Amino acid sequence: MLIKEIELITLDTGTLAPHLTEDDLKNGMPGAMEALGSLIKGEGAGSDMLGWMVLPRLPPRDIEEILDVGKRIQDQSDCLVVVGIGGSYLGARAGIEALKKHAPFPVLFAGNSLSPEYHADLLDYLEGKRFSICAISKSGTTTEPAIAFRLLRNRLIETCGREDCNARIVAITDPVKGALRQMAGTEGWKIFPISPDVGGRFSVLSPVGLLPFAAAGIPIDALVGGACSGLDRWTRKEPGNEALRYALSRALLHDKGIEIEVLSTFHPELSWVCEWWKQLAGESEGKEGKGLYPASTVMTTDLHSLGQLLQEGSRKILETFLISARPNRDIDIPGDGEDLDGLNYIAGKSLSEVNRKAYEGTKAAHVSGGLPAMTLKLEGIDPSSIGALFIFFELAIAVSGRLIGVNPFDQPGVEEYKTRMFKLLGKPGY
Ligand code: PA5
């Protein structure tokens, strides 16, 4: 299903000036196009990790298979527990939180921390419930999800026996290696392979995100359709390409000394999209002493906590607003005869209109306070827009990573803590 994505996402860079002008963008555009061209040709640093660029063009039979397994999970369970961390967690969480109204089937998450409280509470909650597990780990050996999976699987075996337990587990992992892959083969669990050329933070449009979405009830054909349209548009080497303009703006401001990018949304349901984006941007660009530190705010909540800093604090911040043009639901503010709360001046207006004015006012205030700002506007918060947003950010961050001169597809730094933790825990070989 190809969606007219031209209306799905727009980018307004008009409020980047005077920090970044239209001429700066014009002058930098050939470099951005070259970076995009090298990705399309499969060249440059990390060229063996570009499998994510073809994910939206999933064959219909693969979508059917994912939908079938999602349906089976719904039929045989009261809820699904998705086990995973980092790139094997955040995309699924982001999509399900953003599209809650399209996701009636309960999906819970585990293995994204080592919190004993969280996991004990989860096991309590699952008491007496029929649940299925979707274990996601590309390596199949990551400590946090491995522990959660062991706890949950033990519970399933205790409550329904090994055979029934095996029918309730889906493993999404490397096609050949890793502990999860070996266990899945031995026990006969349903397996969806993660292609070795797709990194965790670029995997949301593979079964890593699509199976949890399908189980939740999200129409994945519409989501993939949005991503496909986005891929079609944002791989065009033309100056109006919004993903290129966003990538270039970030990279040029990085080179001018901006250190932090704050993604500010006025829609709380997008807060997990911001979390997913933080990993995508931070892990892709944060190396060799480079990279914008990705932060996020949820407005208007954070205007009452971080608003002061954004208005008058460090000026090494770029603010990118993430807004939706259309609410899924709306509500009018009622009039009141006495007007004791003084709100009658907005009586009859919708809450979405007030929220939009809050965004416009905030942007104007922060820009007048000296922050460069731009706005990404979604047509709505629906499956096709969210699919388009995923591929938009993936393409843009891949380009900006290349522009600032790093390999956007590796993450050598994340091993450091593991080595020290394993030594402290006495893991054999450390
Ligand atoms: O993006 C990444 O590569 C990481 O965030 C991984 O997804 C995360 O460490 C989990 O790894 P794995 O999927 O191997 O369990």
Beta strand 169-173 with 190-193 is: parallel
Of 168, 198, 218, which one is at a domain's C-terminal end? Answer: 218
Q: Calculate mean pLDDT across residues 336-359.
A: 98
| Span 20-64, pLDDT tens digits | 999 999 999 999 999 999 999 999 999 999 999 999 999 999 999
Domain count, the chain: 2
Nearest atom, ligand 1, residue 194 CA:
13
Q: Calculate mean pLDDT across residues 168-194.
A: 97
Task: Please report which confidence band the pLDDT of residue 5 belongs to, taking 50, 70 and 90 as the band edges.
Answer: very low
Judge if 181 and 214 occupy the same domain: yes
Looking at the chain, how many residues does it have?
430
Specify the amino acid at residue 77.
Answer: S
**Cα–Cα distance measured from residue 325 to residue 355, given in angstroms and rounded to the nearest whole number:** 11
Nearest atom, ligand 1, residue 283 CA:
1
Task: Give catalytic status of residue 357 as yes or no.
Answer: no
- The CATH number of the domain holding residue 107 is 3.40.50.10490
Question: Residues with Cβ within 6 A of ligand 1?
Answer: 85-88, 137-139, 142, 145, 199-201, 283, 411
Q: What is the crossing angle of helices 22-41 and 242-255, to 10°?
A: 110
| Span 150-170, pLDDT tens digits | 999 999 999 999 999 999 999
Whose CA is closest to atom 2 on ligand 1? 200
Could you tell me which residues come within 8 angstroms of residue 266 by beta carbon, excluding any fewer than 6 positions away?
Answer: 299, 300, 321, 322, 323, 324, 355, 356, 358, 359
Residue whose structure tokens are 């990194």: 199
What range defines the domain where residue 263 resides?
3-44+223-412
| Span 300-322, pLDDT tens digits | 999 999 999 999 999 999 999 99
pLDDT of amino acid 6 = 52
| Span 375-417, pLDDT tens digits | 999 999 999 999 999 999 999 999 999 999 999 999 988 888 8
Task: Return the DSSP state at 138.
Answer: S
Of 218, 238, 266, which one is at a domain's C-terminal end? Answer: 218
Question: How many CA atoms lie within 13 Å of 300's alpha carbon, on the beta-carbon side?
Answer: 12
Judge if 273 and 125 occupy the same domain: no
Q: For a ligand 1 pocket test, name from 88, 177, 183 the mutation site with the most ligand atoms within 8 angstroms of its C-beta.
A: 88
Judge if 190 and 232 occupy the same domain: no
| Span 232-252, pLDDT tens digits | 999 999 999 999 999 999 999
Count, in order, helices (H) and strands (E) of the chain. 14, 10
Give percent of the chain above pLDDT 70: 98
Task: Give catalytic status of residue 304 as yes or no.
Answer: yes
200-238 in b/e burial notation, b at 16+ Cβ within 10 A? bbbbbbbbbbbbbbbbbbbbbbbbbbbbbbbbebbbeee
Q: Calculate mean pLDDT across residues 316-335.
A: 97
pLDDT of amino acid 406 = 97
pLDDT of amino acid 398 = 98
